[in-house]
Amino acid sequence: MSDYAAPIADMRFVLNEIVGLGEIAGLPGYEETTPDLVDAVLEEAGKLAAEQLAPLNHSGDREGAVYENGVVRAPGGFKEAYRHYVEGGWNAVPFEPDYGGQGLPWALTSALQEMWNASNMSFALNPLLTQGAVELLQSHGSDGQKAAYLPKLISGEWTGTMNLTESQAGSDVGALKTRAVAEGDHYLISGQKIFITWGEHDLAENIVHMVLARTPEAPAGTRGISLFIVPKFLLKEDGTPGQKNDLRCVSIEHKLGIHGSPTCVMAYGDGGVCVGYLVGEENRGMEYMFTMMNNARLAVGVQGLAIADRAYQHARAYARDRVQSKDIAGSAGPVPIIRHPDVRRSLMTMRTLNEAMRMLAYTAAGVLDRGKRHPEEAARQRNQAMVDLLTPVSKAWCTDLGVEIASLGVQIHGGMGFIEETGAAQHYRDARIAPIYEGTNGIQALDLLGRKLLRDKGAAARALIEQMRGSLNALQAAPGEDTRAIRAALERSFDTLSSATGWIVEAGGRDLRLAAAGASPYLRLFGTVAGGWLMGRAAVAAAGQLGQANGDGVFLAAKIKTARFYADNVLPQAQALATMVTEGGTSTLAIDEDQF
Angle, alpha carbons 401-407-410 (nearest 5°): 150
- In the beta sheet, which residues pair with residue 279? none
Distance CA 201, CA 71 (A): 7
**Residue 275: which H helix or E strand, with range?**
strand 275-278
Burial, 593: exposed, middle or buried (Cβ in 10 Å; 0-12, 13-18, 19+)? exposed
Per DSSP, 222 falls in state G
Q: Choosing from 63, 114, 438, 506, which is the catalytic residue? A: 438
Ranges of beta strands (E only) in 300-387 are: 323-326, 334-336
Distance CA 403, CA 431 (A): 5
Burial, 361: exposed, middle or buried (Cβ in 10 Å; 0-12, 13-18, 19+)? buried
- Which pairs with CB-CB distance under 8 Å and at least 24 residues apart come from 459-464? 460/385, 460/386, 460/388, 460/389, 461/389, 461/501, 461/526, 462/498, 462/501, 463/382, 463/385, 463/386, 464/386, 464/389, 464/530
Distance CA 86, CA 102 (A): 13
- CA torsion 309-314-316-320 (nearest 10°) is 170
Pairing of β 334-336 and β 241-244: unpaired
For 468-505, b where at least 16 C-beta lie within 10 A, e where not — what string?
Answer: beebbebbeebeeebbeebbebbebbbbbbbebbebbb
Phi and psi at 234, nearest 5°, equal: -65, 150
Are 99 and 33 within 8 A, CB to CB? no
Phi and psi at 466, nearest 5°, equal: -65, -35
Distance CA 134, CA 470 (A): 37
Q: Which residue type, as a one-letter code, is found at position 233?
A: F
Q: Is the dihedral of CA 28, 34, 35, 38 positive or negative?
A: negative
Distance CA 222, CA 203 (A): 33
Q: Catalytic residue at 183?
A: no
Distance CA 514, CA 70 (A): 48
Active site residues: 438
